């Protein structure tokens, strides 16, 4: 994310506006430049379905022959898979709403190749078995495209089903085991762990870190292992590496045990239902170690679960809040007008996911998987609500991807942490 004079700067970062300039793309400093050279309106570049032209595929992305679509003049059916029920339902609802807003905007401009878009919610409840059942039913009912899932442990099971059906998923998974299973616009674990480790050491000055992690999810397990390796390579002592079981009512005992190892930081590599409770326990127990929650907790549900005081006491590794992207205000205003509530963390990502899939379909004349894959492999600097999108054809992952530390204000909203930005000196603010 990079602010030029034509882009409004969030007030808490306004003092840095004059320092922002083009910086090299890197994954090790966190906040990577994501900027268009012109204002990005919701009805402008996004709905114009623009992408760099492509001629040949540059990757052997594993996608099978195209499945039959709804065809004809009927609606284009794009599934959105996510946790629409259960503890993480707030995430799934925000995902579906973001996709629906994109569909509404696109339909107002004629849809895709003259056909209207229909969003098909697919509820996996953040559970792999439930996801397989739901994905199988959705495929049987007919899909032209799919966005999601969110949980990597679910995606390991459902993404192959979509690929086998000839679909090109635009996933929201962050575990590297889902590399090349379609494409993603959000950061991956190998992009997140270095930023988290650098923040703990450079910003918080941690010499000792305790890690609590959810062993039932692919993302949190692998992220915790990667973070542990990054920290130990930097000379940090990992005082505890403790698995936790999700779905508990309290993590007081685990926090007490971790705090007894005298860490400088307790890092919660969990999704927000657990991360929020860990933050609450740390505040209630007056733990002197700093609380930091992982990327998997970067959701408004973390604040609701923890309570505002505990959330303010616990920075979160994540992505900018929807309103902090260069064109974020327009997106937030449109979303709020449509749904009567603020967008979730991943709402702009599903908005862009539908948008880039629509761009590819419009340019290639439909949803042929081979043509879509070739086109998306060449995606470079596509302008979306989350900034510019370039996709790595070797993995299908966004490169670069924006990773930041967030704080929570008194109004219960996430913002890029100014203290982190000052200490970590990301290249977008402090070019060498």
Give residue for tokens 């050279």. Answer: 37
Does the pLDDT at position 211 exceed 50? yes
Q: How confident is the model at residue 428 (pLDDT cuts 50, 70, 90)?
A: low
Please state the φ and ψ torsions of residue 176, each to the nearest 5 degrees: -65, -15
∠143-99-383 over CA atoms, to 5°? 110
pLDDT at residue 11, rounded to an integer: 43
% of the chain at pLDDT higher than 90: 80
Does the pLDDT at position 66 exceed 50? no
Give residue for tokens 């702009």. Answer: 348
Q: How confident is the model at residue 72 (pLDDT cuts 50, 70, 90)?
A: low
Q: Which of 29-33, 151-155, 306-310 has the lowest mean pLDDT?
A: 29-33
- Going along the chain from its start, the domains and CATH numbers come out as 76-187+323-391 (3.40.50.2300), 189-318+404-424 (3.40.50.2300)
Does the pLDDT at position 318 exceed 90? yes
Contacting residues for 233 by C-beta, under 8 A, at least 6 apart = none
pTM: 0.85
Per DSSP, helices labelled H in 74-187 are: 89-108, 128-141, 152-164
Q: Going by DSSP bridges, is the β-strand pair 391-392/397-398 parallel, antiparallel, or unpaired? A: antiparallel
Q: What is the mean pLDDT of the chain?
A: 86
pLDDT at residue 424, rounded to an integer: 77
∠168-381-119 over CA atoms, to 5°? 35
DSSP labels for 204-236?
S--SEEEEEEETTSHHHHHHHHHHHHHHHHTT-
Q: How far is CA 17 from CA 182, 413, 414, in A?
A: 36, 22, 20
Say if CB 276 and CB 305 are below 8 A apart. yes
Does the pLDDT at position 175 exceed 90? yes
pLDDT at residue 196, rounded to an integer: 98
Q: Exposure of 80 by Cβ count < 10 A (0-12 exposed, 13-18 middle, 19+ buried)?
A: buried
Question: What is the distance between the alpha carbons of residues 352 and 170, in angstroms, rounded to a whole number?
Answer: 10
Tens-digit pLDDT profile for residues 343-365: 999 999 999 999 999 999 999 99
Q: How confident is the model at residue 426 (pLDDT cuts 50, 70, 90)?
A: low
Say if CB 7 and CB 36 are below 8 A apart. no
Say if CB 196 and CB 225 are below 8 A apart. no
Tens-digit pLDDT profile for residues 18-39: 333 222 232 333 433 333 322 3
């Amino acid at each position: 994310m990079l602010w030029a004079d034509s882009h409004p700067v969030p007030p808490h970062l306004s003092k840095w506006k004059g320092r922002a300039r083009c910086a090299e793309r890197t994954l090790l400093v966190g906040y990577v430049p994501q900027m268009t050279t012109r204002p990005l309106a919701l009805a402008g570049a996004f709905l114009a379905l623009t992408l760099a032209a492509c001629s040949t595929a540059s990757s052997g992305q594993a996608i099978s022959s195209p499945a039959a679509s709804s065809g004809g003049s009927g609606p284009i059916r794009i599934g959105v898979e996510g946790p629409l029920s259960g503890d993480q339902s707030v995430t799934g609802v925000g995902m579906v709403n973001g996709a629906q807003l994109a569909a509404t905007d696109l339909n107002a401009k004629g849809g895709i190749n003259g056909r209207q878009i229909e969003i098909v919610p697919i509820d996996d409840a953040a559970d792999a078995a439930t996801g397989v059942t739901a994905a199988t039913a959705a495929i049987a009912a007919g899909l032209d495209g799919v966005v999601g899932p969110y949980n990597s442990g679910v995606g390991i099971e459902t993404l192959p089903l979509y690929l086998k059906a000839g679909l090109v998923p635009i996933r929201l998974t962050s575990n590297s085991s889902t590399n090349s299973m379609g494409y993603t616009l959000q950061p991956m674990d190998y992009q997140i762990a270095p930023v988290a480790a650098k923040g703990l050491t450079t910003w918080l000055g941690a010499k000792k870190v305790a890690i609590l992690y959810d062993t039932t999810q692919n993302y949190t397990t692998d992220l915790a292992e990667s973070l542990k390796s990054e920290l130990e390579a930097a000379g940090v002592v990992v005082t505890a590496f403790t698995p936790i079981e999700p779905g508990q009512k309290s993590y007081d005992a685990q926090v007490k045990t971790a705090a007894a190892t005298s860490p400088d930081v307790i890092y919660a590599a969990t999704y927000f239902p657990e991360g929020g409770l860990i933050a609450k326990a740390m505040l209630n127990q007056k733990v002197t170690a700093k609380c930091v929650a992982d990327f998997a907790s970067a959701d408004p549900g973390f604040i609701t679960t923890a309570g505002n005081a505990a959330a303010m006491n616990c920075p979160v590794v994540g992505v900018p809040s929807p309103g902090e992207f260069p064109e974020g205000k327009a997106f937030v205003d449109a979303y709020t007008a449509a749904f009567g509530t603020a967008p979730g963390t991943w709402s702009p990502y599903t908005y862009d996911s539908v948008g880039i899939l629509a761009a590819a379909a419009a340019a290639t004349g439909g949803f042929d998987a081979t043509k879509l894959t070739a086109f998306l492999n060449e995606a470079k600097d596509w302008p979306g609500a989350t900034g510019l999108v370039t996709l790595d054809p070797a993995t299908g992952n966004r490169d670069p991807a924006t990773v930041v530390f967030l704080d929570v204000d008194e109004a219960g909203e996430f913002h890029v942490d100014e203290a982190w930005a000052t200490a970590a000196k990301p290249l977008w603010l402090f070019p060498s």
